[in-house]
Amino acid sequence: MGVIDDLYRRALLAVADAGPVTGFVKQQGRHLGVSRFVAGERLPEVLEAARTLRGEGLESIFDLLGEFVDTEADAAAMTGEILTTLEALRSEPGERYMSVKPTQLGLGVNFDLGLRNARRVAEKAREVDARLCLDMENAPYVDGTLRLFRTLQDEGFRHVSTVLQSYLYRTKDDLNTLLEISPKPTLRLVKGAYRESEAVAFGDKAKVDQNYRDLLYRGLEGGATLGIATHDESIIRETEAFVRGAGLDADRYEFQFLYGVKPALQKRLVGRGHKVRIYIPYGSDWYGYFSRRLAERPANLMFVVRGLFG
């Protein structure tokens, strides 16, 4: 089953890169059900979505869509939009949290540009009492992202976190290095959604899942605060048992879900006393994100097919 899942994911991501498919999906987004996974294209829509979730006992993390920015001008524009979102969060109640992709800040142009803009965003987040997560993109950007994170940590931006992906071979070593930071870091743990070669990533789903478990337990035992970002119910149940057995404080972990995925499970976890945070994507550049959601499992693709034909 793991091999079939991996073939499905790789095939769909490959098809999604085809020009005619890209054009069709972008034109038909509303009919294809993009709104199930993307809160909206404008900031007021995502603010309203977060308020609705807060009323259900769910926290949020805002994510402005857009990635692989490759010019200084585009990085400046994206950074400006991120700063606007953080300013809008100033007046919102509850916890404030935003995720940014380092290539949005210019990492794909050069490291120094990415660092300058990351500092601006981190300073703004601190000003409005928000947390900031440096998201993890595909393999070529892992080293740069971790370098950004370590630099910001060294400069005292302790409200900044980052992401580790269990499908990469290197991640156990990366985690062990990050656990040397004092105070211990906050990390978001995901399986990984980009199309990677077998030279850098596990191709077998069972190995990705086992590595996720290993990273999860190592991180919690090593003192990190973890965002456990998975929809895998078996891993979630195991995590619940682990934190009970270890007597971990509730502020050492939280469960994180993507917007529109397994809302009933989200509410059950809240009812059992866990903090649950929803990753809320928004913006006009939604195609890459939407494609990765469809590639995660055939049920997501069937949702789109039903919307198209009926």
Query: Which residues are known catalytic residues?
Result: 135, 188
Residues 6+ apart with CB under 8 A from 253: 220, 225, 226, 227, 228, 239, 243, 275
Q: Read out DSSP for 89-106?
A: HTT--S-EEEEE-GGGGT
* Distance (Å, whole) CA 3 – CA 114: 37
Which tokens go with 186? 């906050």
Q: Which residue has the tokens 């603010």?
A: 47
Instruction: Say if residue 172 is exposed, middle or buried (CB neighbours under 10 Å; 0-12, 13-18, 19+).
Output: middle
Q: Which spans in 134-232 are helix H? A: 142-154, 171-178, 205-221
Residue 268: enclosing H or E segment and its boundaries? helix 263-271
